[in-house]
Chain A
């Protein structure tokens, strides 16, 4: 019980800090979609695969990439197949993931913003 007030303050402070991190980090949104051959999929079964490392080793291939700046500027790399046609099987899901990333970022900002706002109130009161 003695640590409860400290726990409330820590939780509230972390939410506030996280909101600040969001504000600093949301200027650019990046979405990467990779594919990997069936015989390489085992590398993903590790608890925490290092994407950079396995990409360097050729275990995965970057197939589509989207970068959206805060001002709306976008950089997009399209996946193509062996005929130099857009690979719809990857491109369609990549577009869906981009939409999801934008929606998720908005939802996270809203949730963390609301939480931080409430938590800051709690923090103030717990310090009174």
Chain B
């Protein structure tokens, strides 16, 4: 089985979107590029339910953290005044590190010293790859129906094919009991939520970068550095939130 998406180390994944949720979902691409989401759960129902619940909690938490990151991104957009970045004063303030880092990048782009841009370009390579992978995933998802196959242990209990127009086709094995059908139903819901989260993340980064690009006063060509800078910003904010899951976020 081949993987159709750029692989990134899970530790660097900004939202847990490339990595399995709770170790349960894997992505595969079939011969005709139709993405199939396989949800492989433990054979025991109670263990399967526990994994589904953990995955649901993880997604809800990730969604809340992304809301928080979006609010902070909006504040950065409002605060950024081209030509007026004063890193020394920002650094002396209590501005968090991700904001300082992003503003420093914007300041570098405004000054556009060739050697600094070259250094920035090298530093951003990985984040650019991440953004391209994220957007490619979103585009792939939009291009094909969503297919979900749920396994309890080695047993396939349900298969759902969902068109983007909302039509659902589901197949259950005759002998699958009602409780296992509900597990498949819940797994489909989780996969859909995960796809929506991925689309949201790709859009947040792209539109956030666009807001800054339109204000950036750097010379032509420097705008392309903003997208990976915004991805890094969102990734850094989410990493901090994930490291302090109990801290107040709103």
* Interface contact A119-B203, CB-CB below 8 Å: yes
The count of chain A contact residues (Cβ–Cβ below 8 Å) is: 59
Q: Does B196 contact A (CB under 8 A)?
A: yes
* Interface contact A34-B170, CB-CB below 8 Å: yes
* Interface contact B192-A34, CB-CB below 8 Å: no
Q: Does B105 contact A (CB under 8 A)?
A: no
Chain A residues close to B by CB (< 8 Å) = 1-2, 4-5, 7-8, 10-12, 14-15, 18, 21-22, 25-26, 29-38, 41, 44-45, 47-49, 51, 60, 89-90, 92-93, 96-98, 100-102, 104-105, 107-108, 111-112, 114-115, 118-119, 121-122, 125-126, 128
Cβ of B219 to closest chain A Cβ, rounded Å: 14
Neighbouring A residues of B165 by C-beta, 8 Å: 21-22, 25-26, 29, 105
A51-B171, A89-B178, A121-B207 given; name 9 further pairs at CB < 8 Å: A4-B227, A8-B227, A35-B173, A38-B175, A104-B166, A112-B199, A114-B203, A121-B210, A128-B214
- Majority secondary structure of chain A interface residues (helix, strand, loop or mixed): helix
Among A41, A45, A114, A121, chain B packs the most CB atoms within 10 A around the CB of A41
* Interface contact A29-B142, CB-CB below 8 Å: no
Neighbouring A residues of B34 by C-beta, 8 Å: 47-48
* Interface contact B227-A14, CB-CB below 8 Å: no
